[in-house]
Each structure stands twice: as structure tokens, then as C-alpha cells.
């Protein structure tokens, strides 16, 4: 077939399958029952013709909007912009449009824009990025409006809605295990914000890995941070000015790991030769500073794709009981770079 084919229409599919347009529409939307025989004929025709429904026509003809809202807080977090981009792509693949909306400290105003999204734009559903995933005001509003939503790495209220997450306990365990396997014994931890469950899970993973491998660390080897660079500076100073300095530090995110690098530099501690450091998130910082950070990468593309798919599938509307089936714990990846290396005997 060298001639250029125009995009197939529902009519072309119907003719090829020997059914009416309506039957094609019903098969594709999957709400009403269609005889198995015709179903298969339609699906075959769809595949043969590479048919994709025109989303403008769908929107115009029906009651669904084919729009998905995305609530985020801070775009400058690289996690957010990457999620956004992947969600944009997935939305396009599913014939939907994505509408990003920033939620900021002006909660009344933010709430209003969410309500507008629901009432005026008539979005079909929402995706919530952390820390919005745990924002009580937002969650209440969505429940009142009975709008389907998917939360990304929520900390709390896990029964409230479908969510997509990684296993933060395992993150802590994996990173710590990696350091142990590199030969480190004196492994300190900089913990994240105590308000977030994630912080505690990572810390627990850290502690359990130490126990599992029978590694004993000095008392008070965990410093408190809150995920900001500045908090990392203070935590790093506290740990690195101790007499029993660690040979490795597992920071609960990249910002705080970056702070460790800067503080160590100032103290004349060579990274990675005298001190290994690891972060979590694989942000831009991880590859900007030197040495590049060993860190954890979340499967952002996969998370975005799944979130869009859940909303686009419309299953949440068809059968609200299904909502709770959508609890997804995805795998993460340990990215080994230059900031963490084998322990060297210095004495």
C-alpha cells in the first residue's frame, strides 16, 4: 500500500466489521454488552485499520470531557516536571487532554480553581502529585464532588482512593544494603520531615537493613532534616563534626545529599574517598554536583502512564468498588554513580 491512507473513521470500521457505527462505539466504550462474535469482528477491524476515535468528535458528541486534571505544588521539583511531561504524552495516547493546575499556599484560591476544573471544565478525573496527595482540604473537596482521582505516593488515608506508589521502606533498605555491601559499617542517616510517613518508612528500612546484616552503628546516628538543602546542611554538620564520623551517609533525598557534599567539602572531607553519600529521587542535582550522586530513581514515566490509564479507563465511574483494586506499588531503581564507593581502610 503505497497510497496514503486517511485516518480511519468509525464508519470504515463498521463497514469492515459488518456492523453499525453504534456497535463499534459500544465495543470501544465497553459499557454495554455486545455479542462476542461482533465484538471480535469490531476489534479486528479496529486493529486492521489502526482506528483511533477522534477525540474532538467524542467530546462534542458525548457527555465525557476527555480531560484529566493534574494537581501539583512546585514545578521546580524535577520530579513534577517529568511527571507532567509523561502524563501529557500518555494523555495524548489515550485521546485525553491534560490540564495541570498549581496548588499553592493560598488554599482557598487553589480550592476554587479545582472546583472550576470540576464544574466548568468538567474534567473526568484528577491526578494528585505529592504533597497534594495528602492535602486534606483538597481530598475533602474531591470527595464531596464525587470526582474520581488517583494519588501518587500518598502517605496517609490509603483506603481513600486508588494510588500509585513505591515501597519507601524498601528504598531505605536497599540503599543501606548497598552501602553495607560496599563495605561500610559506620553508616549514618539524614532523615526527612517527620510529618511525612515516607521519612519514617525510609528510616525504618535503614535500621532494618543494619540489623539484618548485623551492622552496629554508634548511638544517635540519625540526624533530622526536612528535605530542604538548608536542613541538610545542619544535619550534615552535626554528623560530620562528631568524633565517630561515619564513612557513609544515606540522605533521604538528593537535596540533603547535596548539602552533605558541600559541607564535607568545607570540612576538607573528600567525597567519595573519605565519605560515601547517597540520595533519593535522582533529581537534576544528582547529576549537576560532583561527584554525581548515587540515588534512587522512581519509575516516573510508568507512574504517569498508569495514573492516566486509570482515569481514562473510566472504571472508577463504572464501578466504584474497583477503586480499591488500584493500589499499585511499583519498582524503583538504584542508580549507582560516583558518590558512593567501596570502603577504604584509612588507618
Strand bridging mode 187-191 / 248-251: parallel
Three cell numbers written together for 249: 551517609
CB 208 within 8 A of CB 173: yes
76 vs 108, beta carbon nearer a copy of itself? 76
Work out whether 64 is an interface residue with DNA (CB under 7 A): yes
Work out whether 33 is an interface residue with DNA (CB under 7 A): yes
Sorted by sequence, the CB contacts under 8 Å of residue 6 that are 6+ apart come out as none
Work out whether 241 is an interface residue with DNA (CB under 7 A): no
CB 330 within 8 A of CB 302: yes
163 vs 227, beta carbon nearer a copy of itself? 227
Work out whether 58 is an interface residue with DNA (CB under 7 A): yes
β-bridge mates for residue 297, sequence order:
333
Applying CB under 8 A, among 43, 49, 88, 330 the residue interacting with a copy of itself is 88
Work out whether 127 is an interface residue with a copy of itself (CB under 8 A): no
Sorted by sequence, the CB contacts under 8 Å of residue 29 that are 6+ apart come out as none
Three cell numbers written together for 247: 564513612
Q: How many C-beta atoms surround the C-beta of residue 241 within 10 A?
A: 10
d(CA 16, CA 151): 41
d(CA 99, CA 320): 24
220 vs 338, beta carbon nearer a copy of itself? 338
Binding-site string for a copy of itself from residue 204 to residue 233, where x marks contact by CB under 8 A and - marks none: -------------------------xx--x
Applying CB under 7 A, among 15, 43, 49, 54 the residue interacting with DNA is 54
Q: Which does 313 bind (CB under 5 to 8 A by kind): DNA, a copy of itself, none?
A: none
d(CA 326, CA 158): 11
Residue ranges that bind a copy of itself, judged by CB under 8 A = 54-57, 59-60, 75-76, 78, 80-82, 84-85, 88, 92, 97, 99-100, 229-230, 233, 255, 258, 262, 265-266, 284-285, 288-290
Residue ranges that bind DNA, judged by CB under 7 A = 9-11, 19-26, 28-29, 32-35, 37-38, 51, 53-54, 57-58, 60-64
Amino acid at each position: 500500500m503505497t497510497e496514503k491512507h486517511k485516518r480511519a473513521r468509525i464508519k470504515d470500521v463498521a463497514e469492515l466489521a459488518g456492523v453499525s457505527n453504534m456497535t463499534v462505539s459500544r465495543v470501544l466504550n465497553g459499557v454495554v454488552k455486545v455479542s462476542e462474535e461482533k465484538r471480535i469482528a469490531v476489534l479486528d477491524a479496529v486493529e486492521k485499520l489502526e482506528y483511533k476515535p477522534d477525540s474532538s468528535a467524542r467530546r462534542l458528541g458525548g457527555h465525557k470531557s476527555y480531560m484529566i486534571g493534574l494537581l501539583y505544588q512546585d514545578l521546580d521539583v524535577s520530579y513534577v516536571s517529568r511527571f507532567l511531561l509523561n502524563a501529557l504524552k500518555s494523555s495524548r495516547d489515550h485521546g485525553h487532554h491534560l490540564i495541570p493546575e498549581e496548588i499553592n499556599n493560598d488554599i482557598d484560591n487553589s480550592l476554587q480553581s479545582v472546583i472550576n476544573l470540576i464544574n466548568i471544565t468538567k474534567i473526568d478525573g484528577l491526578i494528585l502529585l505529592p504533597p497534594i496527595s495528602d492535602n486534606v482540604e483538597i481530598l475533602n473537596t474531591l470527595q464531596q464532588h464525587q470526582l474520581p482521582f488517583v494519588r501518587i505516593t500518598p502517605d496517609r488515608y490509603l483506603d481513600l482512593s486508588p494510588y500509585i506508589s513505591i515501597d519507601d521502606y524498601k528504598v531505605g533498605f536497599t540503599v543501606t544494603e548497598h552501602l553495607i555491601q560496599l563495605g561500610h559499617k559506620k553508616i549514618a542517616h539524614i532523615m526527612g520531615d517527620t510529618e511525612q510517613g515516607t521519612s519514617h518508612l525510609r528510616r525504618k528500612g535503614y535500621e532494618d537493613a543494619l540489623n539484618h546484616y548485623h551492622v552496629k552503628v554508634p548511638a544517635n546516628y540519625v540526624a533530622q532534616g526536612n528535605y530542604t538543602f538548608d536542613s541538610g546542611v545542619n544535619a550534615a554538620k552535626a554528623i560530620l563534626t562528631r568524633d565517630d564520623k561515619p564513612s557513609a551517609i544515606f540522605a533521604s533525598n538528593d537535596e540533603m545529599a547535596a548539602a552533605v557534599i558541600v559541607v564535607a567539602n568545607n570540612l576538607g572531607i573528600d567525597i567519595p574517598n573519605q565519605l560515601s553519600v547517597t540520595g533519593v529521587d535522582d533529581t537534576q542535582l544528582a547529576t549537576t554536583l560532583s561527584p554525581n550522586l548515587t540515588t534512587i530513581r522512581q519509575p516516573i514515566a510508568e507512574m504517569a502512564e498508569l495514573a492516566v490509564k486509570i482515569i481514562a479507563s473510566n472504571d472508577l465511574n463504572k464501578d466504584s468498588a474497583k477503586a480499591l483494586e488500584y493500589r499499585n506499588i511499583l519498582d524503583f531503581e538504584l542508580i549507582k554513580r560516583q558518590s558512593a564507593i567501596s570502603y577504604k581502610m584509612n588507618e
